[in-house]
Amino acid sequence: MKKKSKNILLSRRFFERDAQTVARELLGKFLVRRHYSPLFSNSRELENSKKWERVAVMITETEAYGGPRDKASHAHSGRTKRNEPMWGEAGIWYVYLCYGMHEMLNIVTGPKEYPAAVLIRGTEFDGRRADGPGKITKTLKIGRMLNNKKAVRASGLWIEDRGVKLPPRGIRRAARIGVSYAGPVWSAKKYRFTLHTEALLESNFTEFASLEKKQRPLFFLQ
């Protein structure tokens, strides 16, 4: 008999905290995508066999954008049609187009009417990292159809806690990428959080080591 998995959907309460806290605690959580048709195959046979498929990838890098005072945040320039989701409830997706090419996936944080969000910047699956938010959305077929949608199973995109516990030394903080426009003070803020997997594997972190043996951390869900 198969042991029932304990994959816990992150609730709105998780995201109702400040952006930095959420950004840090999203590391080691799993971004889960449910999509109609295969996500990872170019096979014509599979492409023609339309079916629901779910895939989970571990979040390894995030960036926090903490409100209207943050000069690197879209909210700093005021409320617009584009950034309207940032003023919504915590736990909704904010997806926008960057440079006319890349979809960027963010999750709204904090209290309603306080514009803050966390950018999902890196994931890892099958031993391979997707470094860069544009790669994540392209791989998982995430677009603006998910903008302003709740991060719940019904939307087709959500985040789960699968019990991975991270030691403090497995997390690194650094300045955010590509925000020089925010000026020397805000561009230097260490609001980027990265999961340092090598440090985890060198530690006594047995849970993470066991995931490595199973081609950490891509899990196709049955």
Give the pLDDT of the chain (222 residues) as one tens digit per residue: 344 558 999 999 999 999 999 999 999 999 999 876 655 554 444 444 456 678 899 999 999 999 999 999 999 999 999 999 999 999 999 999 987 678 999 999 999 999 999 999 999 887 777 878 888 998 899 999 999 999 999 999 999 999 988 887 889 999 999 999 999 999 999 999 998 866 556 544 444 444 444 434 433 332
Burial of 19 (0-12, 13-18, 19+ CB in 10 A): buried
What pLDDT, on the 0 to 100 scale, is given for residue 41?
A: 52
In this prediction, residue 166 carries a pLDDT of 83
Closest of 30, 74, 62, 66 to residue 173, by C-alpha = 62
Instruction: Determine the pLDDT at residue 210.
Output: 47
Q: Which of 57, 38, 54 is nearest to 46 (CA)?
A: 38
Q: Which CATH superfamily is domain 8-220 in?
A: Methylpurine-DNA glycosylase (MPG) (3.10.300.10)
Q: How far apart are CA 136 and CA 140, in angstroms?
A: 6
Are the C-beta atoms of 37 and 51 separated by less than 8 Å? yes
pTM, full prediction: 0.83
